[in-house]
């Protein structure tokens, strides 16, 4: 499996979430964060995806672009979700929900439909005040036809 591009980030997860979105997207996440989306820690729009977190702080995020579907390693993770979204502008932004778009980390990729696999680990690690924890979020993207949201590995227990 070849990684075509990779970013290591600390993203401010204000309101326990951050976004991966087409640079030109302007979707309203309010209606996307249903009770089910909050439980699954993922909200999916047409051109953007909201990733739920277990801390309301800066969280470590690794983003990688692949030429094809990566191999599964689900046993290493607490929760694994997979969804589709469309990239129209040729660039995605990775940012917290209260961050300014001009300051967001970006990744260039050819326009088209993509699958996004979000792997979560350390979901039960935040301390009592929620400021510290060992949670980590891995995002893997690859070109693929649009398909529905799937949970590939369920979390063992409630996290919030």
The tens digit of pLDDT for each residue in 101-129 reads 888 999 999 999 999 999 999 999 887 77
Distance CA 131, CA 16 (A): 12
CA–CA dist 106, 100 (Å, integer): 13
Residue partners of 15: CB distance under 8 A and separation at least 6: 56, 97, 98
Distances (CA, A) of 39 to 35, 44, 101, 145, 158: 6, 13, 27, 26, 8
Judge whether 55 and 13 are in contact, CB under 8 Å. Answer: yes
Predicted pLDDT at 33: 95
Domains and CATH numbers, the chain: 3-153 (2.60.34.30)
pLDDT at residue 71, rounded to an integer: 93
pLDDT at residue 160, as a whole number: 44
| Nearby residues of 127 by Cβ (< 8 Å), 6 or more positions away | 133
86: exposed, middle or buried (C-beta count within 10 Å: 0-12, 13-18, 19+)? Answer: middle
User: Over the stretch 55-78, which tens digit does the pLDDT of each residue have?
Assistant: 999 999 999 999 999 999 999 999
Which pTM does this prediction carry? 0.92
Average pLDDT of the chain is 92
Q: Identify whether the C-beta of residue 123 lies closer than 8 Å to the C-beta of residue 115.
A: no
Look at residue 159 in the predicted model and tell me its pLDDT. Answer: 43
């Amino acid at each position: 499996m070849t990684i075509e591009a990779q970013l290591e980030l600390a993203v401010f997860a204000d309101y326990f979430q951050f976004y991966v979105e087409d640079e030109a997207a302007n979707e309203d996440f309010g209606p996307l964060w249903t009770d089910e989306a909050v439980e699954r820690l993922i909200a999916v729009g047409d051109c953007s995806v909201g990733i739920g977190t277990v801390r309301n702080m800066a969280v470590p995020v690794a983003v990688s672009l692949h030429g094809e579907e990566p191999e599964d390693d689900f046993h290493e993770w607490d929760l694994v979700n997979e969804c589709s979204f469309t990239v129209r502008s040729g660039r995605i932004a990775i940012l917290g929900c209260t961050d300014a778009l001009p300051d967001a980390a970006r990744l260039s990729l050819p326009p088209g439909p993509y699958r996004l696999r979000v792997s979560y680990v350390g979901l039960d690690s935040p301390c009592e005040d929620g400021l510290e924890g060992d949670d980590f979020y891995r995002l893997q993207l690859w070109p693929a036809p649009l398909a529905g949201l799937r949970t590939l590995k369920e979390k063992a227990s409630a996290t919030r």
